[in-house]
Structure 1
Amino acid sequence: MNQLQVINHNSQRVLTTAQLAESFESTPDKVSYNFNYNSERYTEGKHYFLLIDEDLKAFKRTNREFQGSINRLYLWTEKGAWLHAKSLNTDRAWEAYETLVDDYYRIKDLQALDTSALSPQLQLLINMEQGLKQIEQRQIEQEQQLTTIKETFLQRDENWRSKIKGLLNGAANRMGGHQEVRRESYRLLEERAKCNLGIRLANMHERLMEQGVTKTKIKDTNRLDVIESEPRLKEIYTTIVKELAIGTLI
């Protein structure tokens, strides 16, 4: 990852869409698509800042490199970067996110400062600041953990799953063998989407384990959870299952 230009807004470090895309080895169009597709999950002021009109002009005055004809600018916070990593759901995105947290979003200047020569009052203030940052980071991590558990286990699209189950049952009645049809549907998805569901499932299990999810719930997580977690896979898989059900698959 190239050295990122530091951008501060509202007393915190943020990244532009272009910087985020570069870090995740993606494209600005892909980042924007993920945001538009999952816009209900993002909260302005928490996950991102949208600068337009006077706010954008004021930002340009203090950040000379952002001159030109742009009329809006998205700035992504650490929490916003986490949501984008979740949407992309690639090993590179998760690795890059961890690097961003360690080397960019978390300011370490105070931690690296030798305070031994400072007055007791200043040392106390610095220690208080460090304590507040640690508390804030723990809160962020707890929110991320709760969000992952909620979205993975409590907000499953049961209507979609019921539809998929019905289509697969129809395909099994026509072709014979429920397990065989499901395996074939996964094979076709991996072929069309150029992905490996087994690896993605293992990665999901590992992330859930790191976040303290119970072994029972992790065991219950399956390939369908992986597919549902990524809109592109969900769309491709739905098409495949429809084709299997009506016998139009070539």
Structure 2
Amino acid sequence: MGKEIPVVLGGFGENCKVMLAKTIAEIHKMETKHVNELINRNIKRFKNEIDILDLGVVLNDTGLKELGFTQQAINSYKGLRAKGQGGNIYLLSERGYAKIIKIMDTDLAWDIHDQLMDEYFHLREEKQQMQSMSMEDIIIYQMQQSKMMKEQLEQTQTVAIEAKATAEQATKQMEIVKDAMLLDHDSWRKDCNNIINKVAKERGGTKEAYQQVRDEVYNILQQRAGASLKTRVINKQDRMRREGISKSKVDKVSQIDVIAEDKRLKEIYIAVVKEMAIKYGVA
């Protein structure tokens, strides 16, 4: 935040970072006496030697001077204390600082609290750990960090590749859907037959596979239309015989012929073939 904060350790445990009420006041743009007043008004909330220490009680003049207090300031604190007007020199632990922020309870106070947690109380913990490690430990640590970073990079690359493959598959699927939707109604018999051939190829490419796909399309059509194609073929052949049409032509009548004669059956047939194209990814 652009301020030099003196690092003070100890008071509540070995190497525990602490902060003077004077420093807190400077950071929060307050007077020290106002920070002291907040603590004194809520003193029951603060546990002595856990949240706060009054250095004016536990340290002599020499100790206070080592913390940067002038003799004039020390005398002033003593005078206020003698008059019962405060004169506290509070030192706060991380927990004590969190409590004073809760009492302030302003957006600015909480923002500053978050920054101090990150940049003062918890900063350089890893550096301190490194300083206590041997050279061998440091090399092992660095290798472990390098391995972890490599694994994270590989995981990121894998996710990226999978995402690309998924996107490409989605694009391909959309193209298939688009092509299926654009089946030409003028050449519907040829287009549908091409799709059925491609589906049959996906299912083995044998003559039996082709017949199975064709039968599957017809069965779905009959279920949706509530009609029997074979019955319609027989009826059409009977009509042709009565009309005197040659036996060779009568014998050639197929289910696709009766579908072609009925607009509703044709629409259902085309829809079923489109669905199959999308299902098998062909068009």
Bin for the TM-score computed over the shorter chain: 0.3 to 0.5
Higher RCO structure, 1 or 2 (CA under 8 Å, sep 6+): 1
Largest Rg, 1 or 2: 2
Q: If the length of structure 1 is used for normalisation, what is the TM-score?
A: 0.42
Task: Report the TM-score when normalising by structure 2.
Answer: 0.38
